[in-house]
Amino acid sequence: MARAQFLSRPSLFQRTWLRTQLRDETVGGILLLVMAIAALIWANSRWGDSYVELVARQVGPQSLHLHLSLGTWAADGLLAVFFFIAGLELKHEFVLGTLSKPAQAVVPVAAAIGGMLLPAVIFVVVNATAANGAPGGWGIPMATDIAFALAVLAVVGRRLPLPLRAFLLALAVVDDLGAITVIAIFYSHGFSAGWFVAALALFTIYACAQRARWRTPFLYVPLALLAWYCLFQSGIHATVAGVALGLLTRVKPDPGETSSPAERMTHLIHPISAGLCVPLFAFFASGVDLRSSGLLGALNNPIAIGVLIGLVIGKPLGVFGTAWLTARFTRAQLNPLLAWRDIATVGLLAGIGFTVALLISELAYPGSPVETNSAKVAVLTASVISAALATIAIRARNRHYRLVESIEQAEER
């Protein structure tokens, strides 16, 4: 029996979808970096106190228990949009994309799981064996930020073959699912069964409306807002609503239909998520005040060390090792135009954990600003280190990537 190939060239439909997704993520990643740098500069300037006051400023209706700080609105509200897009991408990948065929999905799914588990184990070991460790933040180094990673590729890896980009996107999508599952189970507080049942009822109505082929936004927008509100009140982190709604959205177009609801929603909402929601969250989450402790002081504790080792070393080892073992003991065969060192490069890119890692940093240590800041500084530092290492690896392979690009272009003619 012939061995199934993974990282093969995507179909024309999948190539078109991937290029659109990756383009939007790349632009969003650049904006994310700009906003994060702006927040860091402001928080550590002579006007740093005004940044702290801005993040803590509360807005919203008190009667609905939504009188929240701007930082909370960014984490619970804006990131719900981001996770809705993640849910749509996950549904697409499992139904139509890279993960729709078991032979092609087994390696990226296994690599994503390995890339989540090993960093978490490293974090727990570091913090459980340290005198002042705090292992509750084990979920922080699990996350990969696809937008940040693609921003790096926009600068140094424009010729990275599309199969590798698809592999990175598949990793990030499965990673997002794992992260939101961890958030829902381990980082939610004060569970209320009544509100949760109400949220489930609204999700059911949404799914039925999709099956009935209803298209009016006058139904879907109120449903989404109410589902978000019910989940927020239930104690489960409200961003879970975004993923749930994305997974319930239809991705296959009907006969005679030019695009599916998932495609239409992605086209409409993805630019808002990548260009506004995620950069604004980065702005409110990245402004770590280092004026008193300094960078080295913030990194000099087990939380920061666990995050650094988990992202910089654990992520690439988990991704590469699990992918290699899975291919070794199954019939999966690597695309002959690529090499295992290319999988290692993707593993380095996966070590860029930003948006979700910052969110979990806030959820893991509520009411502990020192621990939260240490975790955030480690996330930012690890992301920069991982980006630098990935840049070196990509530069070393650019000549080969140009050759692969020329072969792909010749095949398209």
Count of other CB atoms within 10 angstroms of residue 271? 14
- What local confidence, expressed as pLDDT, does residue 106 receive? 85
Is residue 154 packed enough to be buried (19+ CB in 10 Å), middle (13-18) or exposed (0-12)? middle
pLDDT of residue 144: 84
Architecture of 4-188+237-412 per CATH? Up-down Bundle (1.20)
Q: Give the torsion through C-alpha atoms of 65, 76, 32, 21, to 10 deg.
A: -130
pTM of this structure: 0.86
- pLDDT confidence of residue 1: 42
126, amino acid identity: V
CA pair distance 102, 109, nearest whole angstrom: 10
273: its two tokens? 């998520």
Which residue's structure tokens are 């700080």? Answer: 69
pLDDT score, position 284: 93
Amino acid at 364: A
- Which SS3 state, helix, strand or coil, does residue 293 take? coil
pLDDT of residue 169: 82
Q: Which two tokens stand for residue 353?
A: 């954990």
Identify which of 187, 204, 280, 276 has the alpha carbon closest to the alpha carbon of residue 240.
187
Structure tokens at 71: 């930082």
| pLDDT score, position 312 | 95
Residue that is written with structure tokens 């090499």 in the block:
339
**Dist CA 123 CA 100 (whole Å):** 32
Q: What is the pLDDT of residue 2?
A: 47
CB 100 within 8 A of CB 94: yes
First vs last Cα of the chain: how many Å apart?
A: 32
β-strands 68-69, 332-334 pairing: unpaired
37 dihedral zone (left: phi>0; alpha: psi -120 to 50; beta): alpha
Separation in Å, CA 71 to CA 213, 297, 362, 369: 37, 24, 10, 13
Distant-in-sequence contacts of 94-98, Cβ < 8 A, 24+ apart: 95/251, 95/252, 96/13, 96/14, 96/17, 96/251, 96/252, 97/10, 97/14, 97/17, 97/166, 97/170, 98/10, 98/14, 98/166, 98/167, 98/169, 98/170
Q: Which residues of the chain have pLDDT under 50?
A: 1-2
Tell me the C-alpha distance between 235 and 231, whole Å.
7
CB 137 within 8 A of CB 114: no
User: Which among 79, 2, 3 is positioned nearest to 326, based on CA atoms?
Assistant: 3
Q: In sequence order, which ranges of 57-96 are alpha helices (DSSP H)?
A: 70-72, 79-95
From the list 291, 294, 357, the residue with the least C-alpha distance to 115 is: 357
